[in-house]
Amino acid sequence: MRQVFATILLGLAALSGAGAASAQVVVNQQALQQLSGKPVAPQRPVVRRPYRPIVRRPVVRRPVVMRPLPLPPPPPPVSVPVVAAVPPPPKPAGPRAVTLVFPSVDVALPGGAARQLSHFIGAKADARAHYIVQATAPGVAGDPSVARRMALNRGLAVRAVLRRAGVASDHIIVQALGNPPGIVPNHVTLTEIP
Domain boundaries, the chain: 2-36, 96-193
pTM across the whole model: 0.51
Q: In what order do the strands lie in the sheet with 130-136?
A: 96-101, 187-193, 130-136, 172-178
Q: How many helices (H) and strands (E) does the chain have?
A: 4, 4
> Residue 127 pLDDT > 70, yes or no?
yes
> Residue 174 pLDDT > 90, yes or no?
yes
CATH class of 96-193: alpha beta
pLDDT digits (tens, 9 = 90+) for 85-121: 778 888 777 778 888 888 877 778 888 888 888 888 8
Q: 3-class DSSP state for residue 111? A: coil
Maximum Cα interatomic distance, the chain, rounded to a whole number of Å: 167
Segment (H or E) for 16: helix 2-17
Angle of helix 144-164 versus helix 113-121 axis, rounded to 10 = 60
Percent of the chain with pLDDT over 70: 85
Nearest to 192 by CA among 106, 126, 144, 140: 126
pLDDT digits (tens, 9 = 90+) for 18-67: 555 555 777 777 777 777 777 666 667 777 778 787 878 777 777 777 78
Q: What is the pLDDT of residue 152?
A: 92
> Residue 130 pLDDT > 80, yes or no?
yes
Q: What is the pLDDT of residue 115?
A: 83
Q: Quote the radius of gyration of the chain (alpha carbons, Å).
A: 63
